Amino acid sequence: MKKTIAIHLTCAGLLFTSSFAVQADDGEFFDSGFLFRPGNQELPTDLSIFSHSNRVLPGPQQVKIIVNQRNFGEHTITFIPNEQANKDALPCFTLPLLQAIGIKTVMFPEHETQDNETCVDLSVLPAATYSFDASSATLTLSIPQIALDNAARGAVPMSLWNDGETSMWATYQLSHYRGTFKDNNVSKQSNNSTFFGLQAGFNVGAWRFRSNGSLYRTDGEQHWNFNENYVERDIPHWRSRIRFGDNTTTSTTFTSTRIRGVKLESDDSMLANSEQGYAPTVEGFANSTAKVTIRQNGNVMYTTMVAPGPFVINDLYAIPGGGDLEVEIEETNGHIVRYIQPYSILPSMLREGRWQYSASVGKYRAYSSDTDEPIVAQATFAHGLPAGVTLYGGTMISKNYFANSLGIALNLSDWGGLSADLIHSTAKDQDGERLSGYAMRVQYAKNLQTTGTNLRLFGYRYSSANYRDLSQILTKSQIFDPQNPSSAEDFYQSSRLWSKSHEYQASITQNLGEYGSLSASYSKIQFRNNMSASNSFNIGYGNSIGSISYYISYNSVSSAWQRRNNSVMLNISIPLEGTNSYAGYSYSRQTGGTYSHDATLSGSALENNALTYSVRAGRSKDNSSSGNNYYLSSSYRNSIGEISASAARMHKNTQTQISVSGSLVIDQGGILLGQHMNDTAIIVDAPGAANVQLASHPTIRTNSSGRALIPYASPYRENQVSLSPDYYNENVTLQRNHLTVVPTKGAIVVAYFETEAGRSELFTLKYQGKIVPFGAAIYDAEGERKAIIGPIGRLWLSGLIEVQKFTARWGTNGESRECSFTIDPVTLVGTTEDSNKELTCE
């Protein structure tokens, strides 16, 4: 039962004393005369112990504190005895605690004379109240706005940030792909490729040591890309981060450049309600089961298999810096679609007075051996001005290269957000020719809530003939002929070196209410030294009829690599009632008369949907043949990783893929295996509590030592960790099942759940042949109350490790009795949970 303290009004300052306001209620009265007394029980039962639900006793307790609906995490608070008898103990608010939960104290000079352990009287704060819920160990405060530290509002207090444990870790993803197809039904060809991605780290305090890379092997050729090695840490009071080693310059103004040196930049993820950064999303269209490979600057960053139809890939891991993405879609029949997907960011509208900055200096890291590697320095800034104006710009300097930029972003309120910037470059190319040019960029975004229209991004960029990026100046390679490339890498190298003249991007979604939703996107890159352009257009409409949903889309892609390819597709999805499965149908048709019909069954199975599956069968026709096609995929995830496999057959062509992923962490608790990590993680430690399911992460359970790895967490944000409330183990008892942790970026934080070792048993306690009455209190040898007798004399005790002596006390109206009994856990071994264990109290 919650207790509320009314805080009195006063005009005086914050006077600090050790007194507390009086509790409002006197508890509840229970008449024991209405209770059934088995065995002609002589003494009336004293139920005063139940006058206050979950009685709060004096002493330290770990509680969660919420101030004005903001969670300030877990704190250990000392509860002091109440001056009134039979009242709950009261929490002691100390000055350090008040400061930690965002209540102003420095504005009152009286606090300087107080000891840090002295209890502070909150009654001088107008209209302030607090309540404590013992059942959930939650202390809730309502504090007047004037008494709150505004700097702490909207963000998790820095005092709760946790740098985590000293630890080593590695996370991996290994996949192998094999495809066989016939060339014009004459010769059979095959392709094998293996991708191994590895991220490894070492944490010491706030320092993060990282090494990221990958191995891509295809048809006997292999490419190592282990060139991200660095050490970094955050600087909390500057809201910034510093990194030494392999870096990329900030891409908000100039094209991102790889360097090996040092970078200091602001980190908005430490701020309240700020953007968590930008990760590129790849959208595309597959006409059949296809392998999608994503490259950036020629390096393979991601590979996966997708089902027919439109796809979205939004889980790209740790792509360093910006830059256009090169997408390759390899269909089951061997047909390959390649195109460039540009992406950019509309600069954030900064609040008035806010700053963003980045400063980098280091040696240029080339993608090939025929490129110069001079020293590169770059500095960028953005500053929020009055009237919704943000000014931003920067400077880049290197050997034979100098560029500067200036831009403005406008918050147009009801008219959306608009930004425009100009970059001027002066350079000397490999032939010694001096070049001077400029690039202009305009971007716009708007969400019309009244009409349901979301113009997510519109961008236009024009580059003059002599404008150059730094990479174009430093690279010596000749531009490849895009009509006759010797390999896919030639195409990617060419696209990076071609001089762009125009770039367009647009994306819009329209919510039509009960009539569904409509979306469209378009992008184009026009090259100055190549007649061909890269184009991508997609439009789609989706809606539902009852529980049946459908989606119709049209997609068109063209590039310097190939002619235009147009596709249209229909998808229908039907949930199967009472199951976790869906049935579906899809139809697609593309340029050249290629078509396919497919029926699909997909869903999940096993406990907590740990197993997912998809089965598809249909008929299709391409340029050279027609026939049946099949597809099967399955994925299983548990506490130590994930394994998945897929197979597809289209006419006489096949594709298969198998992949495994997971991670390994080594800390003072030993070696721990887990699912694929995402840099910031949480270790659950509940000593001795084996096989506990994490309620917050259902596919994860603790190992035999009571430890488990949660592979991802939000840095500088509250992360809730919950254990299953119905966990039972006769040899260990969980003292709590919920914790909140706030890791810093890259931290591996331990969420420690206290456990009580020993057996837990249910007994029937008797005294002189009769059951001990309901409400009797049980005390251990040290006088600590351990339990209360329930109806019909039932008693539940936990933590039974060795021979222990207990005392039962009961009685009322001035009469009381007590008796003692001893429990030997050894004699309990082998008994069943349902057996009636009787104890005699003497």
Residue 768's pLDDT band, with cuts at 50, 70 and 90, is confident
pLDDT for residue 771: 81
State mean pLDDT over 632-652. Answer: 91
DSSP letter, residue 611: E
pLDDT for residue 25: 45
- Dump pLDDT digits (tens) for 564-597: 888 899 999 999 887 888 999 988 888 777 888 8
Show the tokens assigned to 522. Answer: 């378009």
Average pLDDT, the chain: 78
Cβ-contact 601, 340 below 8 angstroms: no
Spatial distance between the Cα atoms of 614 and 603, rounded to a whole number of angstroms: 7
pLDDT for residue 514: 86
**For residue 489, is pLDDT > 70?**
no
Most confident of 79-93, 500-514, 708-722: 708-722
Cβ-contact 662, 644 below 8 angstroms: no
Spatial distance between the Cα atoms of 568 and 586, rounded to a whole number of angstroms: 11
Spatial distance between the Cα atoms of 717 and 73, rounded to a whole number of angstroms: 11
**For residue 842, is pLDDT > 90?**
no
State mean pLDDT over 630-658. Answer: 90
pLDDT for residue 318: 39
State mean pLDDT over 120-140. Answer: 78
pLDDT for residue 242: 96
What is the distance of C-alpha 704 from the center of its chain? 26
Residue 55's pLDDT band, with cuts at 50, 70 and 90, is low
Residue 158's pLDDT band, with cuts at 50, 70 and 90, is confident
Residue 323's region, left for phi above 0, alpha for psi from -120 to 50, else beta, is left
Spatial distance between the Cα atoms of 19 and 28, rounded to a whole number of angstroms: 25
Please state, in angstroms and as integers, the Cα–Cα distance from residue 630 to each residue in 46, 151, 424, 598, following that order.
73, 59, 54, 9
* φ/ψ (deg, to 5) at 145: -55, -35
Show the tokens assigned to 129. Answer: 């109240």
Q: Say which range, 310-324, 381-395, 505-519, has the weakest mean pLDDT.
A: 310-324
pLDDT for residue 831: 45
**Cα distance from N-terminal residue to C-terminal residue, the chain:** 35
Q: Say which range, 17-21, 272-276, 419-423, 424-428, has the weakest mean pLDDT.
A: 17-21
**For residue 372, is pLDDT > 50?**
yes
Show the tokens assigned to 567. Answer: 């596709």
| Residues in contact with 764: Cβ distance below 8 Å, sequence separation at least 6, in sequence order | 771, 792, 793, 794, 795, 836, 837, 838, 839
What b/e string do you get for 125-138 counting C-beta neighbours within 10 Å, with b at 16 or more? beebebebbbeebb
Any long-range contacts for 235-238 (C-beta under 8 Å, 24+ apart)?
236/158, 236/161, 236/270, 236/744, 237/158, 238/266
Number of H helices, E strands in the chain: 3, 55
| Residues in contact with 498: Cβ distance below 8 Å, sequence separation at least 6, in sequence order | 479, 527, 528, 529, 530
Spatial distance between the Cα atoms of 347 and 417, rounded to a whole number of angstroms: 9
Residue 593's region, left for phi above 0, alpha for psi from -120 to 50, else beta, is left
Spatial distance between the Cα atoms of 631 and 650, rounded to a whole number of angstroms: 9
pLDDT for residue 459: 77
What is the distance of C-alpha 440 from the center of its chain? 36
Q: Say which range, 491-495, 571-575, 608-612, 776-780, has the weakest mean pLDDT.
A: 491-495
Please state, in angstroms and as integers, the Cα–Cα distance from residue 740 to each residue in 62, 156, 679, 718, 743, following that order.
12, 12, 19, 6, 10
Q: Which amino acid is at 300?
A: V
**For residue 455, is pLDDT > 80?**
no
pLDDT for residue 417: 78
**For residue 825, is pLDDT > 60?**
yes
**For residue 468, is pLDDT > 90?**
no
Q: Say which range, 234-243, 556-565, 647-656, 822-831, has the weakest mean pLDDT.
A: 822-831
| Residues in contact with 186: Cβ distance below 8 Å, sequence separation at least 6, in sequence order | none
The model's pTM is 0.71
Spatial distance between the Cα atoms of 118 and 413, rounded to a whole number of angstroms: 50
pLDDT for residue 829: 52
**For residue 790, is pLDDT > 70?**
yes
Please state, in angstroms and as integers, the Cα–Cα distance from residue 690 to each residue in 693, 706, 719, 734, following that order.
9, 5, 22, 11
State mean pLDDT over 334-343. Answer: 70
DSSP letter, residue 148: B
State mean pLDDT over 513-535. Answer: 81
Cβ-contact 642, 661 below 8 angstroms: yes
Q: Which of 192, 231, 229, 63 is nearest to 133 (CA)?
A: 63
Pairing, β 837-841 against β 759-767:
parallel
Spatial distance between the Cα atoms of 496 and 757, rounded to a whole number of angstroms: 63
Q: Say which range, 54-68, 248-262, 426-440, has the weakest mean pLDDT.
A: 54-68
Kindly state the percentage of the chain with pLDDT values over 90. Answer: 23
Spatial distance between the Cα atoms of 708 and 403, rounded to a whole number of angstroms: 50
**For residue 170, is pLDDT > 90?**
yes
**For residue 743, is pLDDT > 90?**
yes
Residue carrying the six token digits 């300097």:
397
| Three-class SS state of 492 | helix
Q: Say which range, 116-130, 510-524, 725-739, 743-757, has the weakest mean pLDDT.
A: 116-130
Question: What's the burial of 362, exposed, middle or buried (CB within 10 Å: 0-12/13-18/19+)?
Answer: buried
pLDDT for residue 643: 95
Cβ-contact 260, 248 below 8 angstroms: no
Spatial distance between the Cα atoms of 83 and 23, rounded to a whole number of angstroms: 10
Higher pLDDT, 311 or 12: 311
| Residues in contact with 826: Cβ distance below 8 Å, sequence separation at least 6, in sequence order | none
Pairing, β 389-398 against β 70-80:
unpaired
Q: How many residues can be counted in the chain?
A: 842
Residue 675's pLDDT band, with cuts at 50, 70 and 90, is very high
pLDDT for residue 750: 94
Most confident of 263-277, 603-617, 654-668: 654-668
Query: Residues 277, 366, 282, 319: is their CA dihedral positive or negative?
Result: negative
- Dump pLDDT digits (tens) for 33-45: 555 555 545 454 5
Element spanning 759, H or E: strand 759-767
Show the tokens assigned to 233. Answer: 């840490």
pLDDT for residue 614: 92
What b/e string do you get for 409-431 counting C-beta neighbours within 10 Å, with b at 16 or more? bbbeeeebbbbebebebebebee
**Residue 679: HSE in the Cβ half-sphere, 13 Å Cα cutoff:** 13
Cβ-contact 53, 1 below 8 angstroms: yes
Cβ-contact 172, 133 below 8 angstroms: no
Q: Which amino acid is at 560?
A: A
| Three-class SS state of 466 | coil
